């Protein structure tokens, strides 16, 4: 029997159960809004704000493989949670087009719909993002199309995408008390070129919260949800479950921790923000050369190193294949603390505070402390899991020079087998050494008293670059020019490093996130010899169906001509509810 396309827009009849559908705006149900476009009529099912309407199921009673397209309204931002019965859990998408009074249609995925159904829900959502669906289209696939789809989605040789899940959107927006919610982090990357999923252990910095929780003044509802779930959800059990399923899907899991996430950003202070370990030990903070305390704790102290290592070892107990150190967040990691100054004086008989951060002698000592951390981490992982059973990954700054500036001597780390993977990130940091606080008798050194007076003024003495300026030339403290660079020249530097030391290199996306931009960038990187591509906070790509239709196949080296982007169709709405709106647009008019 010939299979035909099925286009469903009468959603109030198609979805069940009916008692979760209303035409009167009930806060815990899906509201029906009738609409008419220039091409067809239909019904939107929608929820607004904090509505947590339950699960609706559409059973199309189909047999065989189909392409599934989703229709959503374009006005505003709508986050739709949806799944097939054969999935482990829900994934979600956003509408992609911002034009008012339109409905958009785009390809979602392909699936065998035999004894299968489509579900939508709002029950897992915590915050007030709207959800809406305006239609579903099932288009039958030919045998050739099915074989081609299976070929591209089951290949092992294209697994080159390093996915980074920062957990913030999950903990602030989704109810993580439901184990099924955890599968969202896997379902987002189903049938893609994802090789690694790095899941951030954000709870580790909050694990000893000492708060009067009900009365604590959080900075936002999102922050309240984040903290309540980090201290109230069984991370370990859920991560073991998630990791087991990831392995069954052919994915590798790395648990990641931000190396410098100790406190809040301005105007909130680290003091009293609830981080018990940081509050209890201000003496273990990083201290600048004039004695001022910084927000980060210092890896010069063995107690801080042990605290972080304990978190990483515990995180890896879920069955993780690796742990990832996120050095791209939370600098500094070591400055002018007593252990640093004592060691510097012992070796050179001088005051470390009089030297710029990029002075070779001072930098070498900073690197020693950070290398000690990696040695201790490697030893702890080996003692717990067996020698080199759990890999160590480092997501650091833009170039090798930038890593060393912060204390990460990546060449030593690689030589000693202390890192297995390096992922770069487009950030660069350096001190700006003004002549106003150089020593009169030796301009290569810093006058600490002058420095102390200067830093309370308006002139900046540091430069953190995370925009196009990272490619610009700049002067180091000795007046030497660090030349301009490009994404390509830096990638080549990392490739040579990787080949020399046997470290896998993943380069961060840096391109327009559209089909042409993604495929051109990825192929350029593969031509240079990189092992794979990464994208920090990958969910920001995965939730856009148009972008994800290309990004999901970012590992298709030398085969991007076979990657076809999803086409989006826009339908103009001329009537919604009882009102005609093709001439006078609702609310705005005109």
User: pLDDT tens across 161-171, in order?
Assistant: 999 988 777 77
Cis peptide bond N-terminal to 114, omega within 30: no
In order of 57, 146, 226, 257, 335, the CA distances from 70 in angstroms are 15, 20, 30, 36, 53
In order of 123, 174, 200, 363, 411, the CA distances from 177 in angstroms are 12, 9, 17, 45, 42
Give the C-alpha separation, 575 to 156, whole Å. Answer: 48
> Quick check: helix, strand or coil at residue 257?
strand
Name the β-bridge partners of 568: none
Cis peptide bond N-terminal to 397, omega within 30: no
CATH number for position 542 = 3.20.20.80
Does 45 map to a domain?
yes
Q: List phi, psi (to 5°) of 244.
A: -60, -45
Identify whether residues 123 and 260 lie together within a single domain.
Answer: no
Q: Residues 6 or more apart from 478 whose CB is under 8 A from it?
A: 358, 444
Give the C-alpha separation, 258 to 261, whole Å. Answer: 6
Nearest 5°: CA angle at 449, between 447 and 455? Answer: 95
| Residue 25 φ/ψ region, left for φ over 0, alpha for ψ in the -120 to 50 degree band, beta for the rest | left
Q: Does residue 172 contact residue 582 with C-beta atoms inside 8 Å?
A: no
Q: What is the pLDDT of residue 218?
A: 64
Identify whether residues 60 and 103 lie together within a single domain.
Answer: yes
Helical axes 360-385 vs 338-348, angle rounded to 10°? 120
Does 226 map to a domain?
yes
Q: What is the pLDDT of residue 207?
A: 46
Give the C-alpha separation, 420 to 291, whole Å. Answer: 36
Identify whether residues 72 and 210 lie together within a single domain.
Answer: no
Residues in the chain: 590
Identify whether residues 144 and 168 lie together within a single domain.
Answer: no
Give the C-alpha separation, 498 to 502, whole Å. Answer: 5
Q: What is the pLDDT of residue 314?
A: 92
Give the C-alpha separation, 551 to 193, whole Å. Answer: 9
Identify whether residues 490 and 511 lie together within a single domain.
Answer: yes
Q: What is the pLDDT of residue 288?
A: 98
Ranges in the chain, pLDDT < 70: 1, 98-99, 126-128, 202-220, 222-223, 231, 261-275, 586-590
Q: Does residue 96 contact residue 104 with C-beta atoms inside 8 Å?
A: yes
CATH number for position 73 = 2.60.120
Dihedral (Cα; 383, 286, 201, 307), 10-degree rounding: 30
Q: Does residue 93 contact residue 60 with C-beta atoms inside 8 Å?
A: no
Please give the model's pTM, rounded to 2 decimal places.
0.93
Identify whether residues 32 and 98 lie together within a single domain.
Answer: yes
Does 1 map to a domain?
no
Identify whether residues 68 and 190 lie together within a single domain.
Answer: no
Q: Does residue 541 contact residue 551 with C-beta atoms inside 8 Å?
A: yes
Q: Does residue 321 contact residue 252 with C-beta atoms inside 8 Å?
A: yes
Does 499 map to a domain?
yes
- Could you tell me whether strands 421-423 and 391-395 are parallel, antiparallel, or unpaired per DSSP bridges? parallel
Q: Does residue 401 contact residue 483 with C-beta atoms inside 8 Å?
A: no
Identify whether residues 133 and 176 lie together within a single domain.
Answer: no
Q: Does residue 336 contact residue 448 with C-beta atoms inside 8 Å?
A: no
Does 588 map to a domain?
no
Does 585 map to a domain?
no
Does 563 map to a domain?
no
Q: What is the pLDDT of residue 219?
A: 63
Give the C-alpha separation, 8 to 30, whole Å. Answer: 17
The two three-digit tokens of residue 169, written as one number: 């959107």
Q: What is the pLDDT of residue 215?
A: 64
Nearest 5°: CA angle at 146, between 141 and 148? Answer: 125
C-alpha dihedral sign at 158, 161, 162, 166: negative
Q: What is the pLDDT of residue 478?
A: 96
Give the C-alpha separation, 280 to 302, whole Å. Answer: 15
Identify whether residues 401 and 421 lie together within a single domain.
Answer: yes
Name the β-bridge partners of 566: none
The two three-digit tokens of residue 73, written as one number: 């309204």
Q: What is the pLDDT of residue 590?
A: 47
Identify whether residues 137 and 185 lie together within a single domain.
Answer: no
Identify whether residues 147 and 163 lie together within a single domain.
Answer: no
User: In the block, which residue shows the tokens 């169906």?
Assistant: 545
Q: Read off the DSSP letter of residue 471.
A: G
Q: Residues 6 or more apart from 38 whose CB is under 8 A from it?
A: 571, 572, 574
In 140-207, where does DSSP find H-type helix? 143-154, 168-173, 179-182, 184-187
Q: Read off the DSSP letter of residue 215.
A: G
Residue numbers of the domain that contains 134 = 6-152+568-580
Q: Does residue 171 contact residue 220 with C-beta atoms inside 8 Å?
A: no
Give the C-alpha separation, 295 to 286, whole Å. Answer: 7
**Domain count across the chain:** 2
Q: What is the pLDDT of residue 169?
A: 73
Name the β-bridge partners of 91: 82
Identify whether residues 405 and 546 lie together within a single domain.
Answer: yes
Name the β-bridge partners of 116: none
Does 540 map to a domain?
yes
Give the C-alpha separation, 22 to 349, whole Å. Answer: 79
Q: Does residue 315 contact residue 386 with C-beta atoms inside 8 Å?
A: no
């Amino acid at each position: 029997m010939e299979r035909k396309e099925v286009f469903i827009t009468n959603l109030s009849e198609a979805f069940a159960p009916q008692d979760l559908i209303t035409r009167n705006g009930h806060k815990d149900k899906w509201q029906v809004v009738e609409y008419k476009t220039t091409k067809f009529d239909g019904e939107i099912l929608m929820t607004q704000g904090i509505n947590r309407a339950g699960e609706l199921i559409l059973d199309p009673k189909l047999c065989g493989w189909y392409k599934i397209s989703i229709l959503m309204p374009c006005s505003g931002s709508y986050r739709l949670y949806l799944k097939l019965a054969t999935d482990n859990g829900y994934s979600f998408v956003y509408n992609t087009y911002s034009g008012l009074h339109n409905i958009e249609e785009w390809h979602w995925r392909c699936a065998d719909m035999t004894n299968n159904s489509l579900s939508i829900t709002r029950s897992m959502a915590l915050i007030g993002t709207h959800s809406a669906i305006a239609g579903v289209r099932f288009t039958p696939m030919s045998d050739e199309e099915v074989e081609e789809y299976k070929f591209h989605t089951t290949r092992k040789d294209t697994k080159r995408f390093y996915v980074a899940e920062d957990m913030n959107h999950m903990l602030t927006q989704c109810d993580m008390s439901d184990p099924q919610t955890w599968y969202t982090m896997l379902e987002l990357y189903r049938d893609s070129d994802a090789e690694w999923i790095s899941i951030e252990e954000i709870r580790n910095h909050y694990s000893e919260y000492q708060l009067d929780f009900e009365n604590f003044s959080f900075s936002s509802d999102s922050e309240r949800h984040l903290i309540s779930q980090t201290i109230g959800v069984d991370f370990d059990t859920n991560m073991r479950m998630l990791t087991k399923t990831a392995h069954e899907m052919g994915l590798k899991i790395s648990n990641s921790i931000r190396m410098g996430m100790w406190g809040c950003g301005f105007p909130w202070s680290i003091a009293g923000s609830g981080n018990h370990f940081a509050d209890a030990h201000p003496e273990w903070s990083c201290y600048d050369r004039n004695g001022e305390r910084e927000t980060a704790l210092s890896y010069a102290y063995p107690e801080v190193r042990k605290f972080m290592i304990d978190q990483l070892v515990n995180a890896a107990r879920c069955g993780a294949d690796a742990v990832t150190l996120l050095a791209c967040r939370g600098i500094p990691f070591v400055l002018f603390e007593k252990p640093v100054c004592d060691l510097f004086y012992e070796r050179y008989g001088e005051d470390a505070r009089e030297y710029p951060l990029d002075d070779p002698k001072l930098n070498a000592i900073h690197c020693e402390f950070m290398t000690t951390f990696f040695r201790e981490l490697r030893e702890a992982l080996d003692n717990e899991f067996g020698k080199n059973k759990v890999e160590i990954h480092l997501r650091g700054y833009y170039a090798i020079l930038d890593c060393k500036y912060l204390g990460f001597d990546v060449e030593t780390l690689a030589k000693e087998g202390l890192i297995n993977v390096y992922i770069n990130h487009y950030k660069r940091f350096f001190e700006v050494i003004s002549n106003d606080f150089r020593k009169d008798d030796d301009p290569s050194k810093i006058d600490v008293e002058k420095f102390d007076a200067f830093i309370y003024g308006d002139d900046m003495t540091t430069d953190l670059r995370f925009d196009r300026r990272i490619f610009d030339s700049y002067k180091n403290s000795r007046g030497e020019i660090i030349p301009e660079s490009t994404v390509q020249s830096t990638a080549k530097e990392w490739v040579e490093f990787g080949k020399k030391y046997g470290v896998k290199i993943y380069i961060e996306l840096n391109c327009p996130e559209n089909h042409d931009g993604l495929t051109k960038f990825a192929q350029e990187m593969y031509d240079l010899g990189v092992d794979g591509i990464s994208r920090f906070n990958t969910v920001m790509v995965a939730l856009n169906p148009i972008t994800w239709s290309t990004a999901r196949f970012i590992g298709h080296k030398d085969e991007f001509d076979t990657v076809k982007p999803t086409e989006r169709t826009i339908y103009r709405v001329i009537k919604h509810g009882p009102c005609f709106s093709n001439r006078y647009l609702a609310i705005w008019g005109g």
